[in-house]
A and B are shown apart, each in its own frame.
Chain A
Amino acid sequence: MKNLHQYMLILVAGVLGACGSMSVNDPYAEALPADFNPQEYLTLHPELHIRQIKDYVENYNANLKTALGATAYDSTKKADDAAFLADLNVVQAIYIHPQIGAHSEQQWSNVIIALGLADTTPEYKNTKKALLQYNFVGRADDYSALLTVPVDYQAVSQQYNVFGRDHGWAYRVCRPEEGANPLRSSLPIASMQKDIVKVDGSFIADEGLYCRDAAGDDRLIQ
């Protein structure tokens, strides 16, 4: 009888469970603002796109290393790195292309200066290392390969959830009627976050949502 009671409970639970909705909601999608668009967010924060391209190249090279074995990979990499840096016109095109490196001509001239230094200087080494982050080892046409790197919008959306939102990153372009909204830099949270270490070391999350106006300033969405 004792068991029967338990079975009845299980049965009731089962019936209730069966009647309930089984659809599962995506918690990340729910947490995003209703008008969040990862593509738009990415255009406002090109550094996320650059990171994705660099990570893609890194993954490609890591998988190649697994496939070839360390020794064969290292010799391939050495030859391919030299070939990549040999044609600086292509490297420049990669570096300043808005869809790849997204740097300015000014930044490129700094690269040229750094590459002109002795190859033992830290500046030279760091610059070279930064450029090689765009090199697919064992591929001849890096430029067109870099243009076809797929964007992982899931990672972009999640970045907004785990970091961008709390740090007051604008997630969309301001609409005309929002042109007079308060600037984020004028709000107390901006200085609180900026001087986080100076206050007491504890982080205070930004509760607001922001858009970016034509001038490149972030404004509070009300």
Chain B
Amino acid sequence: MNFNMNMRKILLTSAIAFSAASAFAADNQAEVVTQQKSLLEKLDSLNAAVLGLKINGTAKAGVIASFATSDQFAKESPTQENQAFTDVNLRLTARPSSETMIDVQLRLHKDWQSAYDENNNPVIGHWFSYDGTILNKHVDFNLGYMRVGYTPLTIFTPQTEILQEPEIFSEKRREALEKRNLDTTSRRLLHGLNVVYNSGNVAGVVDNITAQLTGARLRNTAKKKDQIFFDFDFSDRYLLGTRVGADAYGAHLGVNFVNVMDRKLTRRSKKVLKEDTIYYDNNRVISVEAAFDSKKLFPELPVTFGLNGEFAMSKWKVDRDYYATEIKTSYQAADDTYEEDPTREFVYIKVKTEEVDSYKNEDYLDQDGKSFYADLFVKGNINDIDFKVNAGYFQTDSGFWSELASSPVYQGRSTIFNANAFYGNSTDSLILATFGASSLENLYFNVYNSTTLQATNLMNSTDLENALVDQLESGASMFANLYNNYKNGHFYRNGYSGVTAKRLELDPLMVLDPSVGLALPLGLATPDRKGIIAKADVNWADKVSFNARVNIVTQSNALDFATLTVGENKFTEFAVGVGVDAGALAALDRQILIQGSFAKGSENAYLQRKTSRIVGGITADVWGPFALLGGVQMYTKEFGTGYPLAATAIVNKATEMLALGGARVKLAPLSYLSLQGGMLKNELEYTVPGVAVNKISISKLVFLADVTVNF
């Protein structure tokens, strides 16, 4: 078998060499390139199919230095933060057979600054999966970590879309997501078992019949009272998803069902504290999707057109357990004497009342909702111009809830660089702790470091009793359990998270923050929205590309903060982007890509928010191994009627800017040296009743240098 494989490899390699040789003779060079690509892909897939153990990965050694300045920093505040690290990601893939693969990914991270604190460094395993394509390629399965996507109303990850995002930015975003095992696709990171069956052609009529079953265990974010540091969780939460579908004549019809539920029994194995209320969430969504693509029926047409649509119904039910104080009345016979004749007794019924804590289980919420969308598209290629235009209408009830389609991975609001800085004014600290730091910092940067664990960064508790028993999850007596004191632990500062939020636990600040999405903060499944979404993407032979987006969306039941009435809120969003590859236009053999985009959004009620984003960037191969990358992004969010953070502070406007530029040198195949410098600016204007407008203004100078080797 192995010999056979090697023979085929040699044959393919020589075929590529031959095709390269014949390329000079070929009329159509592009075709040769395509041929070579497809042959290379075949070689890759052959390589991938080699049995046994394989190690791939990346190694990166770098420094990050950031220098912050702000008038609002306290006098004693540190203003500089450095990271000097070596980060190695190992991907071990083992193939017991050509059909299945075990994938384990490990991260070794060394922070040179804490190198003398503790030189033992733990290896963190962050991906474990067993995947395969079995039964004559009819069944695909994933066991362990997996990424699963169904439809925009069932299982889906709404992503941040920034048109013509320059490579220097998109690469940074991808890296930050990767640190959380996330990616830029709409599939959701889950762990469990996923099985997909594809029939292939049936009876010459039906192109494919597919059936999929997904079971996963989800993070239960319900916290008990004394949550301090450790995320202990005695409750189970499961996802059960299933879908079936069929394709014929370019049409697709499918049914999807998703159920996300908390299990009551496992949670109830631990007592509920008197102060606790435990909510059990059960979210069910069933949807029917239909799609049509004309390509199959009319392959000769220069354009193809089609339709995507989905209709979904959801049920969201919440039960809860808690202790309520009740008055318990009991009766007992007692005797007393008559006042006028103390020798005579009479019997009476003594009423005794006691306040008792009674354990209650009750239905708390029950909501049903519907949602649908229909999206028409036309796409094609005319005279080297690729285009795709979509336009659609969607409508979602306020009672609709589909959790796994509604949790974006961008959470934002954390401070990535100079997290050690502190502020002189407590309101400034409050604003930065709640409203958060710059969204551009959260979108593009992350800090991953290993720091020695000690009592101060492990926990913080005052209660010495009942540590790790069924009453308190953690207590100060756990200090005694700190056997791993002074060992290295891995820490993140990252604005992304793959955890999905129950509707009751949805962070209201995240939903309000227009950095996530003004009109549709939770994607297409955002409750109480209807409107039109239109998109156009045009690409002329990878030389010039153009994109446009328009969303006109209405929310029916929005509270207007100016008039304090509930009414309609209309969102208007548009974005345009242009990219030009000057290198390709001038027929040079290198890429000189210049990109830019502008986006604007506004609402006419609620907080009367306005946003605008300007992006510009360049990605240019200068000479030989040298490439220059640069990007500028300016983002403003205005809150017309103020963004009430707390009773004391109302944010009016945030202005952000990020400029980043640098050089990338290709040291060897798949090895790069990158030097980058940039400036992050964040200005927040807020009002405190009775005081004039306050301003927090922070500038950060950032330097990043690293060597990355892929192997």
Contacts and interface: CB of A to CB of B under 8 A. Distances in A.
Given A154-B331, A158-B331, A162-B333, A51 B348 contact: yes
A86 to B, nearest CB: 25
Contacts of B336: 47, 51
B676 to A, nearest CB: 64
A55 B330 CA distance: 12
Contacts of A167: 346
A189 B348 CA distance: 21
A35 to B, nearest CB: 21
Contact of B350 (A47, A51, A66, A163): A51
Contacts of A156: 349
A171 B91 CA distance: 90
B350 A55 contact: yes
B351 interface: yes
Contacts of A162: 333, 347, 349
B352 interface: yes
A104 B591 CA distance: 109
Contacts of B352: 55, 59
B329 interface: yes
Interface in B320-338: 329, 331, 333, 336, 338
Contacts of B346: 47, 163, 167
B161 interface: no
A43 interface: no
Interface residues of A, number: 22
Nearest to B354: A63
Nearest to A163: B347
Interface in B330-371: 331, 333, 336, 338-339, 346-355
Interface string B469-511: 0000000000000000000000000000000000000000000
Most chain A Cβ neighbours within 10 Å, of B329, B331, B347, B351 = B351
Given A63-B354, A63-B355, A158 B349 contact: yes
Contact of A59 (B339, B347, B353): B353
Interface string A150-165: 0010111011001100
Contacts of A55: 350-352
B329 A152 contact: yes
A65 to B, nearest CB: 12
B351 A152 contact: yes
A181 interface: no
A167 B329 CA distance: 26
A156 B349 CA distance: 7
Nearest to B353: A59
A159 B354 CA distance: 21
Given A154-B331, A155-B331, A162-B333, A56 B351 contact: yes
Contacts of B348: 47-48, 51, 155, 159, 163
A155 B349 contact: yes
A55 B348 CA distance: 11
Interface in B288-342: 329, 331, 333, 336, 338-339
Given A52-B351, A55-B350, A63-B355, A47 B339 contact: yes
Interface in A21-78: 47-48, 51-52, 55-56, 59, 62-63, 66-67
Interface in A70-110: 103, 107
A60 to B, nearest CB: 8
B333 A155 contact: no
A157 to B, nearest CB: 9
A167 B335 CA distance: 14
A66 B325 CA distance: 14
B242 to A, nearest CB: 38
A162 to B, nearest CB: 6
B355 A159 contact: no
A171 B78 CA distance: 86
A159 B334 CA distance: 10
A63 B347 contact: no
Interface in A101-121: 103, 107
B332 to A, nearest CB: 10
A201 to B, nearest CB: 15
Interface string B190-214: 0000000000000000000000000
A156 B351 CA distance: 10
A52 B336 CA distance: 12
Contact of B338 (A47, A63, A107, A163): A47
Contacts of B355: 63, 66-67
Contacts of A67: 355
B338 A159 contact: no
Interface in A146-201: 152, 154-156, 158-159, 162-163, 167
Contacts of B333: 162-163
Nearest to B338: A47
A159 B329 contact: no
Nearest to A154: B331
A61 to B, nearest CB: 12
B341 to A, nearest CB: 11
Contacts of A63: 353-355
A67 B325 CA distance: 13
A64 B355 CA distance: 10
A159 B353 contact: no
Contacts of B347: 159, 162-163
A159 B349 contact: yes
A152 B348 CA distance: 12
7 contacts: A47-B338, A47-B346, A47-B348, A63-B355, A155-B351, A163-B346, A167-B346
The 5 A-B pairs of least Cβ separation, nearest first, read: A163-B347, A155-B349, A59-B353, A152-B351, A159-B349
